[in-house]
């Protein structure tokens, strides 16, 4: 996160209003909820996990056992069970 001096971006009236609450400190201004991205959307992590889980479900439906999938994907048996028995 980059530091930006408020007097360079805020109108003077707004800056004076903010200074009533805090002077010389740092304030974090979050993005609006409507424009926030979910976990893994920027990095591709969510897409990767969805593809991996789809492959696990497909292989399970083709007959691989929970133990075989656990070894193949380096996940616990409980994690595999959660993936194959959960609704998508």
At 49-66, the pLDDT tens digits run 999 999 999 999 999 999
Reported as a pLDDT band with limits 50, 70 and 90, residue 37 is: confident
The model carries a pTM of 0.61
User: How many domains are there within the chain?
Assistant: 1
Per the structure, the complete domain to which residue 75 belongs is given by 6-85
With beta carbons less than 8 A apart as the criterion, state whether 53 and 83 touch. Answer: yes
Round to whole Å and give the CA distance between 39 and 47: 10
The answer to the question of residue 74 being in a domain is: yes
Q: Is 73:80 a contact under the CB 8 Å cutoff?
A: yes
* ∠ Cα 76 80 84 (to 5°): 170
Closest CA to 6 of 21, 20, 27: 27
CB atoms within 10 A of CB 66: 19
Residue 68 domain-assigned? yes
Tokens 């926030």: give the residue: 36
Is residue 30, in this structure, part of any structural domain at all? yes
pLDDT score at 88: 63
Radius of gyration of the CA atoms of the chain, in A: 24
């Amino acid at each position: 996160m980059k530091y930006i001096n408020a007097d360079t971006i805020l109108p003077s009236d707004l800056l004076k209003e903010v200074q009533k609450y805090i002077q010389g400190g740092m304030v974090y201004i979050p993005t609006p909820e409507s424009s926030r991205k979910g976990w893994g959307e920027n990095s591709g992590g969510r897409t990767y996990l969805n593809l991996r889980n789809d492959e696990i479900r497909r292989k399970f439906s083709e007959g691989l056992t929970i133990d075989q999938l656990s070894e193949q994907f380096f996940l616990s048996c409980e994690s595999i069970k959660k993936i194959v028995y959960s609704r998508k």
